[in-house]
Amino acid sequence: MVNEVQSEKIYYHPNWKRITIAVILVLIGTGTLWIDIAPFWGSIPWLPLKLTCILIGFWMLKNSKKVVRAKTDTRGFYFKRMPARHAFKKAMADLDLLVFVPFVQIVNIRITANIWEGTRLELETTQGKEILTMLNVLSRKEKQQIYQTIKRFGIANVVKPQEEKGEN
Full-prediction pTM beyond 0.85? Answer: no
Q: What's the chain's Rg over C-alpha atoms?
A: 22
Query: What is the tens place of the pLDDT at every residue in 27-82?
Result: 877 776 555 555 555 666 777 878 888 888 887 777 767 778 888 888 888 888 87
DSSP codes joined into one string, 1-20: --PPPP-EEEEE--HHHHHH
Helical packing angle, 15-31 and 47-62, nearest 10°: 160
Longest alpha-carbon distance in the chain: 85
Query: What is the tens place of the pLDDT at every residue in 83-140?
Result: 777 666 666 666 677 888 888 888 888 888 888 888 888 888 888 888 888 788 888 8
Q: What residues contact residue 11 under an 8 Å CB cut-off, 6+ apart?
A: 68, 69, 70, 71, 135, 138, 142, 145, 146
DSSP codes joined into one string, 118-165: EEEEEEEETTEEEE-GGGGGS-HHHHHHHHHHHHHHT---PPPHHHHH
